[in-house]
Amino acid sequence: MDALLSESEMANWVAWKRATDAVMRAVANEIADTTGLSPADFSVLTRLVEEGNGTMRQQRLADELGWERSRLSRQLGRMEVRGLLSRKGSGPERWITATDSGADAVALARVAHARAVRRTVTDAIEASDRTTFWKTISRISAISDALQATY
Amino acid sequence: MDALLSESEMANWVAWKRATDAVMRAVANEIADTTGLSPADFSVLTRLVEEGNGTMRQQRLADELGWERSRLSRQLGRMEVRGLLSRKGSGPERWITATDSGADAVALARVAHARAVRRTVTDAIEASDRTTFWKTISRISAISDALQATY
DNA sequence: CAAGATTGAACCCTCAATCTTA
DNA sequence: TAAGATTGAGGGTTCAATCTTG
């Protein structure tokens, strides 16, 4: 049916929008206030230190993040200027390495991230609702078949 | 405690990210493919035709959307160039009016929006879980005290 | 050649000025 | 003057070229 959303559907949708926007914003702010890292910086550095112990081929970074090549290229350029990482090599030997400054920042950022996630999501769910809620989120996320992970 | 997320907390968080990103993307794509409107265009035009019958003071638009003035100003500028709306007057008499083309586009977009919301969210929730799920989303969205509505 | 990185162009968003005008 | 709109500057994203280089 090509019908518009009913009033209650719309109310649910607005709540969804508010909830997802607010959580994203709160997490981003907590990390930015603590470390100055943007969400994109955080994603890149987290992958780098978690998965690669601080160093990784750009190719692999692109795959793991599920990002456009151009997006990653521009992001890494900005991060290099800010001293968060360094790049060398070319072709399949294009290597990205977190600087000490980048590694320090992401260590702090991960704590801020955990704090914000708990405060805005985990702690907001009543204990008796948790199982159902997370099961449903998983069902919704399953629609994102061929998609990325961002942390 | 300043601990990082546990494995299960992280799994839930990743599912949350995937779900929210996928839904946002699916809705945006459905609207863009149908009408060429961006999410920002859709928000502005929806308010304009819903709340103001096609015309509204810029001031009120800013309040309803909860947007930065500069953001709205730039957005309206781009939309005017694309022929989606017109602007006239100044000060409190700055009026924004959807063009016929803008009104037509948003009418189609609202149908696409409803279709995508149902497909990605509503229909993904098991009937027996709906009450709990929407109650929880409302609780989470309540943290966004002083925040916007975007549709 | 072909995979992969980069860049041009344009959209989106935000902060901090800088107009405008009632 | 002060509220409100706009603009300068810069980070972030995407698409479509355009390099590079193995």
What pLDDT sits at residue B65? 92
Strand, helix or coil at A150? Answer: coil
> Which among A96, A67, A102 is positioned nearest to A84, based on CA atoms?
A102
Protein residue closest to D11, using CA and C1': A78
pLDDT digits (tens, 9 = 90+) for B95-106: 999 999 999 999
Residues in reach of strand C, judged by a CB distance below 7 angstroms, are A 57-59, 62, 69-70, 72-74, 76-77, 87, 90-92, 94; B 38-41, 67-68, 70-71, 74-75, 78, 90-93
C1' (C16) to CA (A35) span, angstroms: 22
Kindly report, residue by residue over B118-134, the tens digit of the pLDDT.
999 999 999 999 999 99
Q: Which residues of A touch B14 (CB under 8 A)?
A: 149, 151
| Alpha helix ranges (H) inside chain A | 7-35, 39-52, 58-65, 69-81, 100-120, 130-141
pLDDT class of B151 with cuts at 50, 70, 90: very low
Q: Mind giving me the DSSP string for B93-105?
A: G-EEEE-HHHHHH
At A92 the pLDDT is 86
Residue B149 to residues A12, B7, B9, B43, Cα–Cα distance (Å): 12, 33, 29, 9
- The span from the CA of A51 to the CA of A64, in Å, is 9
DSSP symbol at A84: S
CB contact under 8 A, A147 and B16: no
**pTM of the full predicted structure?**
0.88
pLDDT tens readout for residues A23-43: 998 899 889 989 999 999 999
